[in-house]
A and B are shown apart, each in its own frame.
Chain A
Amino acid sequence: EAQVTQNPRYLITVTGKKLTVTCSQNMNHEYMSWYRQDPGLGLRQIYYSMNVEVTDKGDVPEGYKVSRKEKRNFPLILESPSPNQTSLYFCASSSGQAYNEQFFGPGTRLTVL
């Protein structure tokens, strides 16, 4: 089954404790992206990757890091989480063209205390 998986689905942590949210897709997609969803703001892009070893900032990259060492994986790293990073996070993948549907993971609800 074609899918994007994220782990963990729920996470409660404390300020400053480094964490990683994993994202994996099994569709051989070149393009992967991270979004955060906040009430009243919709989803905003954090980082994206056009292919292996190619990453770039989205609209709200501060406080986040990513890496793309393999085509299927695109982890999101919060080196020192802060309460304003409490949000619902989605990973997405697509075949790379703007017209293609982006497939979204199930979401990770992160709470930073």
Chain B
Amino acid sequence: AQKVTQAQTEISVVEKEDVTLDCVYETRDTTYYLFWYKQPPSGELVFLIRRNSFDEQNEISGRYSWNFQKSTSSFNFTITASQVVDSAVYFCALSGGYGNKLVFGAGTILRVKS
């Protein structure tokens, strides 16, 4: 069975601090896909990134970066120089099994204080 664990329930930082959100996954599939979604206070789900299991290159997009390590089954997300607008719930998710189901972690609430 597939499983995603986001062990950090809630993180509070002060603006301009760097913060890393952890994501550990379990799957028996050899081909799978990892995602991060952001859920701001308004409630919608915003797609941030997708990674496939064959591509372990790290990715950077502005202040966001992602570190994918198959050896530790982790797909961590770092926000550099955090801003108040980064305050949201962040979900890590996994797909690859039958039915195109996304298996979500419990989410990490990020609070960035000014």
Contact = CB atoms under 8 A, between A and B. Distances in A.
Interface of A: 31, 33, 35, 40-45, 48, 50, 56, 58-59, 88, 90, 92, 94, 96-104, 106-107, 109
Contact of A45 (B37, B52, B101): B101
A50 B99 contact: yes
B68 to A, nearest CB: 14
B106 A42 contact: yes
Interface stretch (B11-19, B41-49, B56-64, B74-82): B41-49
Say what secondary structure dominates the interface of chain A: strand
B70 interface: no
B47 A101 contact: yes
Contact of B50 (A45, A58, A101): A101
Interface of B: 4, 6, 9, 31-33, 35, 37, 43-45, 47, 50, 52, 91, 93, 95-97, 99-102, 104-107
B33 A98 contact: yes
Nearest to B91: A42
Given A56-B99, A98-B95, A42 B105 contact: yes
A90 B47 CA distance: 14
A109 B50 CA distance: 27
B104 A107 contact: no
Contact of A98 (B37, B43, B45, B96): B96
